[in-house]
Amino acid sequence: MKTTFQEISSILKVYQQTIKNFCSDFGIDFNNQFIGRGFVSNSIFKPEFIDFLKSNHNFIRLYEKDNYHDKTASYIAKKINRPLDEIEKYLKKNNSNFHNDINFKFENSSCLKYISSYAIDYNLGGNYEFLKFNNYLK
């Protein structure tokens, strides 16, 4: 069965942008997951990518909720069980909004919307083996 971008988004009950962001955050080449030309709502995804998304739908929904939620560095640290200073260091290094302001105080801000706690953990070496897309390739 051929499944479009719009259809899988509806099946998973997540935004299309969530799927795109999820792929970016976890090292999956989103643009290579379509049959033919991609990245419009009626584009057809490859069957193995659909299988991957369906088998990880619970985590993708958690990811979406976290990604769109206002949070602080402290919230992220607690959520992924990492030291606060490690999270702050990561955010300053990897987010251009914080690069130039050495005195930026993470604790007084809930400006960390659209940054995934899980993606931070993944980039800091967290175990996300269950998200290895290569396991779904035929």
Residue 15 has pLDDT above 60, yes or no: yes
* Mean pLDDT across the chain: 86
Both structure tokens of 71 = 């949070």
Query: Mean pLDDT across the stretch 10-20?
Result: 96
Q: What residues are paired with 34 via a beta bridge?
A: 45
Phi, psi angles (nearest 5°) of residue 3: -120, 130
Tell me the whole-structure pTM to 2 decimals: 0.85
Percentage of residues in the chain with pLDDT exceeding 70? 83
d(CA 135, CA 39): 23
CA 97 to chain centre: 19
Q: Looking at residue 99, what is its pLDDT? A: 47
Q: Which domains, ranges and CATH numbers included, belong to the chain?
A: 3-66 (1.10.1660), 70-112 (no CATH)
Query: Over the stretch 30-84, which tens digit does the pLDDT of each residue have?
Result: 989 988 776 667 889 999 999 999 999 999 999 999 999 999 999 999 999 999 9
d(CA 99, CA 92): 6
Q: Where are the alpha helices (DSSP H) in the chain?
A: 5-12, 16-25, 47-55, 57-67, 73-80, 84-94, 96-99, 117-123
Instruction: Give the other-Cβ count within 10 Å of 114's Cβ.
Output: 11
Instruction: Give the other-Cβ count within 10 Å of 70's Cβ.
Output: 11
Residue 48: is it exposed, middle or buried by C-beta count within 10 angstroms (0-12/13-18/19+)?
middle
Q: How far is CA 77 from CA 71, 83, 117, 124, in A?
A: 10, 6, 8, 12
